[in-house]
Amino acid sequence: MGTMQWREHFASSVRRDRRVSWDIGVHLPEPVREPVLASLQTFQRGLTSPGMHLRTRVRQQCPAEYADCVDLYVQEKNIHAELLAQLLWRTGSEPTRRAMIDFAFRRVRRRFDWAREMMILLTAEMASMPFFRVLSSSIDDAVTRQVLESIMADQSYHLGFHIDHLRPELEERDNMERLVLQQAWSAMFGSLLGVIMVDNRDVFRALGYERLTYWTDAWNLFAQVQSGLTGSPHLASVIGRDPRLKFAL
């Protein structure tokens, strides 16, 4: 989609009524309750940000239409943070304060230009989507599934949005820089997956879900996004036929 279409998409999305059956209550099975809540606290905290640094960079260096899209994109991510906060509150838990690793992540990404900072955010989304799928498909609670599936539906568009706008930016850079960027990006993604797998080992254990399966699914998604960003024009056009990036999970 073009930038104007993306702006219309995000404007419609942030206005959309995300109906969740809060009235039926959240009933997490006791064996998974504590590790799942701890995991949701971490992801909720990561989504909570006004994104002022990124939005300022984009406004300084990119067309106004794209800056509007990024504003709405950040707003949508904060809607996701609010949904997870509501989910936590209704279990008797609550959002947590920012941890050192989250602070470090934000500090690191702010050292780069807007495109690389956006790629770091894209990396976090690619790592979170398969994990949310693990939770959604494994937890026997209707409200939790509704919240997670709503977030994942939006994220599938986020991936297409990033591909549409980052690919032209990367094509303007020389081959060596693109090669180094790809290697660094792969290393960062692998490291982030490792952190998620270690931090959420109790979740995987409680759900009886193999961490290797999550690892494989996440790399499958990464390969699709990488093909869209830096692969041949043919692959990019195939992936770009749908504004959502679908992946088999």
pLDDT at position 245 is: 73
Between residues 86 and 178, the one the model is more confident about? 86
pLDDT at 98 over 80: no
pLDDT at position 247 is: 63
Residues 30-44 have a mean pLDDT of 92
Mean per-residue pLDDT of the chain: 86
Q: Sketch the domain layout of the chain as residue ranges.
A: 29-239
pLDDT at position 249 is: 47
Residues 150-174 have a mean pLDDT of 88
pLDDT tens digit string along 114-137? 888 888 889 999 999 999 999 999
HEC states along the chain? Answer: CCHHHHHHHHHHHHHCCCCCCHHHCCCCCHHHHHHHHHHHHHHHHHHCCCCHHHHHHHHHHCCHHHHHHHHHHHHHHHHHHHHHHHHHHCCCCCCCCCCHHHHHHHHHHCCCCHHHHHHHHHHHHHHHHHHHHHHHHHCCCHHHHHHHHHHHHHHHHHHHHHHHHHHHHHHCCCHHHHHHHHHHHHHHHHHHHHHHHHHCHHHHHHHCCCHHHHHHHHHHHHHHHHHHHHCCHHHHHHHCCCCCCCCCC
Between residues 69 and 174, the one the model is more confident about? 69
* Confidence label for 199 from pLDDT (cuts 50, 70 and 90): very high
pLDDT at position 177 is: 79
Q: Would you state the CATH architecture of domain 29-239?
A: Up-down Bundle (1.20)
